[in-house]
A = this chain, B = another copy of it.
């Protein structure tokens, strides 16, 4: 079982290009702050919050403000580089979306807070069946499973927690 802790170099380059081109296409400006926030976001593969991103960005550029992070996040999500997810807490999580996969299921470990993104093809079928029953046209669907770590309850330790450097 291999865990990837870093986005591959070529994916990073590609994403950086997508980001810059998106900014230019929107007639916005490629600023140092925006680039630094991009680098901070793509520095690793775990999910993060706006606050995490601020902290990570500041390690690259000490002057970055919270406001700029909040103003840059929509650019990153609109360009499909990040996926925003709301698991019912009062802040949002952000996930890298560099593989551009459309995975519609999230499994959230209540013990270590890790968010596993999974493919759940049956949800397309389910959405279609709903369409017929309710006279609605499905636009998006998301399955969220909250779970506990089995190893934690059996052995008293969660392997994901152990892996965390922080």
Interface size class of A (residues with CB under 8 A): 35 or more
New A-B pairs, 7, CB < 8 Å, besides A140-B145, A143-B143: A90-B90, A109-B136, A126-B143, A130-B147, A131-B147, A134-B147, A137-B147
The 8 A CB mask of A139-155 against B (1 = contact, 0 = none) is 11111111111110100
Partner of A147, one of B90, B139, B144, B153: B139
Residues facing B in A47-73 (CB within 8 A) are none
A-B contacts, 7 of them at CB < 8 A, read A105-B126, A127-B147, A131-B147, A131-B150, A136-B147, A139-B148, A142-B145
Complex Cα distance A139/B153, Å?
13
Residues of B within 8 Å of A141, CB to CB, are: 143-146
A107 B122 Cβ-Cβ under 8 A: no
A127 B145 Cβ-Cβ under 8 A: yes
Residues of B within 8 Å of A148, CB to CB, are: 136-137, 139
B137 A150 Cβ-Cβ under 8 A: yes
Partner of A144, one of B137, B142, B145, B151: B142
